[in-house]
Chain A
Amino acid sequence: EVQLVESGGGLVQPGGSLRLSCAVSGFSGSSGFSVSNNYMSWVRQAPGKGLEWVSVIYSGVSTYYADSVRGRFTISRDSSKNTLYLQMRNLKAEDTAVYYCARGVDDYAVFDIWGQGTMVNVSS
């Protein structure tokens, strides 16, 4: 069974940086699940709140961001490690949330596989 495993969360001061990782585990060669040939996204959820889409990277090179993070966050991937990343800079208190990575189905941003999430706490 293919799984997504996030890491890299933690406590950071306002203005600081963090890099989140999302590794594919349980990869089956026959399933062909690679972060490079799927739409991959980051979605976050502030404590007690709903979901907020953060960023997507398509199977090509295109990337998109929510207005709230554009210019501060960068999504990327490493095909050799089959891992998705989210570099977060100039963090603000309102970035505090559980960050999930998720896979899009058939080149659409409909997310069928989610990780368990990693918590980011921005506080002084």
Chain B
Amino acid sequence: QSVLTQPPSASGAPGQNIVISCSGSRPGPIIGPYGVTWFQQFPGTAPKVVIYSSDRRPSGVPDRFSGSISGTSASLTINGLQAEDEADYYCASWDTGLNFRAFGGGTKLTVL
């Protein structure tokens, strides 16, 4: 089934900007009708949506978080990194061709 690839780790100092990528082995999921969802997960807690439909932000999520798509890849950008942003981040998308929800392997973000 389709696979989404993320870097296993990323790091940055407070105040820096960080970009986490998510690339698809098939173009369909990334550019499909539902786009890409990004989740933030702290240890021992359930994932929470920070970006949906590739570039939209739910209410309550700081505007430091943004999402974008370029070709068959999606990106999550966090501007002005803060210590509280240290968490695992996952991308996900619905593959309409395979009727399957694919998740990226996750990126562990460390704030230095």
A and B: bona fide binding partners = no
A contact set with B: CB distance below 8 Å: none
B contact set with A: CB distance below 8 Å: none
